[in-house]
Structure 1
Amino acid sequence: MEYIKNVNDDNDWAYKQYPVGAYFPLSFKKGEGVENHALNLPKGALIILSQKPPTKSGRYLTHVVELSNEGDEDKPQWNSDDMWGIFRWVKVHWVANFHDPSNIPVDRNTMQVDWGWQDTKAKLLSSPNLMSQWTSIENLRAHLEGVFN
């Protein structure tokens, strides 16, 4: 696991319809530097998705996905007219049980620090915010593997 990313849906849990093994386009909201950021995320990188659903307070860790293409393979499909038109194809490796929301990992309890979820970019798990709590990426990954197994 290399990244964590903020995702949202105004009406429901984002991407809940995709089971383990499914592929879907993971959206990035247009903004300064977002296109370049999305293009340069490496194929094969694992991203944890964190979201605040409309009917709950707090944020939840709902998916672990793998980038399945290089950015230049995905870009020709982008829709430049849509604010969510930037995306990368991902494959689901782990997904929360949306039928039992009480067992979905709570972001703040699991990550144990505010990792800076305020925009659409994927953040490195080795960021200074997370490392202030976890000291090393190995400690954080070991903790997360226990959560997602």
Structure 2
Amino acid sequence: MDCSRLEYIKNVNDDDDVWAYKDCSIGDDFRLNFKKGKGVDNHALNLPKGSFIILSQKRPGYERALTHVVELVNEGSKDKLDWKTGTWDIFRLVKVHWIADFNNPSRIPLDQKEMIANWGWYDTKAKLLSSENLMKQWGSIDQLRAHLGEVFN
């Protein structure tokens, strides 16, 4: 997988005791949901097509884990045509490039171990990997991407 296009990390968990999007396979497309909130619709709309997003989630009883790497396949304006008004009806169409082995949870990469950063997960907006918080740990986005290339390949 080409990690040079890794740009974002996004919280995807909900209140259920299941892994979100666990039934996907590499190459599958699915609607990546964003929970309605202040500025979320504009944020989701403006994420650039072609960007890669790491999905991070936490199930009850587990640490936060890195479970997918997905690519935005459409411009936000195209996806917005199908948005509805419910809590989870903001989405972007994505394609799976990497997925964790959900049959072996002990092998799923842990967010804290691999990303080496603490951040709040107060909403479902995608956060830039080049954030100040991560760059304090990694020095450059290229070093972080190289590390993640080892994790995801």
Give the TM-score band, short-chain normalised. over 0.9
The Cα RMSD (Å) is 0.9
Provide the residue aligned with 1:17 in structure 2.
23
Task: Supply the distance in 2 between the matched residues of 1:53 and 1:74 (Cα, whole angstroms).
Answer: 28
Whichever residue aligns with residue 122 of structure 2, its letter is Q
Task: State the Cα distance separating 1:58 from its structure 2 match.
Answer: 1.5
Matches for 1:21-32 after TM superposition, within 5 Å: 21-32=27-38
Count how many residue pairs are aligned between Structure 1 and Structure 2. 147
Provide the residue aligned with 1:51 in structure 2.
57
Task: Supply the distance in 2 between the matched residues of 1:3 and 1:116 (Cα, whole angstroms).
Answer: 15
Task: State the Cα distance separating 1:73 from its structure 2 match.
Answer: 0.2
Task: State the Cα distance separating 1:132 from its structure 2 match.
Answer: 0.9
Matches for 1:132-143 after TM superposition, within 5 Å: 132-143=136-147
The reply on whether 1:65 has 2:70 as its aligned counterpart is yes
Task: Supply the distance in 2 between the matched residues of 1:69 and 1:118 (Cα, whole angstroms).
Answer: 26
Question: TM-score, with normalisation over the residues of structure 2?
Answer: 0.94
After TM superposition, the runs of 4+ consecutive aligned structure 1 residues lying more than 3 A away are none
Name the % identity: 65
Whichever residue aligns with residue 7 of structure 1, its letter is V
Task: Supply the distance in 1 between the matched residues of 2:105 and 2:26 (Cα, whole angstroms).
Answer: 17
Task: State the Cα distance separating 1:116 from its structure 2 match.
Answer: 3.2
Provide the residue aligned with 1:34 in structure 2.
40
Aligned with residue 99 of structure 2, among 77, 95, 99: 95
SS at match of 1:5: strand
- State the Cα deviation string for residues 57-107 of structure 1 (Å, max 9, x = none): 320000000000000000011111x10110000000000000000000000
Task: Supply the distance in 2 between the matched residues of 1:120 and 1:93 (Cα, whole angstroms).
Answer: 20
Provide the residue aligned with 2:84 in structure 1.
79
Whether the 8 Å contact between 1:28 and 1:86 is mirrored in structure 2 is yes
Whether the 8 Å contact between 1:115 and 1:130 is mirrored in structure 2 is no
SS at match of 2:36: coil
Whether the 8 Å contact between 1:20 and 1:95 is mirrored in structure 2 is yes
Task: State the Cα distance separating 1:117 from its structure 2 match.
Answer: 2.6
Provide the residue aligned with 2:3 in structure 1.
none
Provide the residue aligned with 1:147 in structure 2.
151
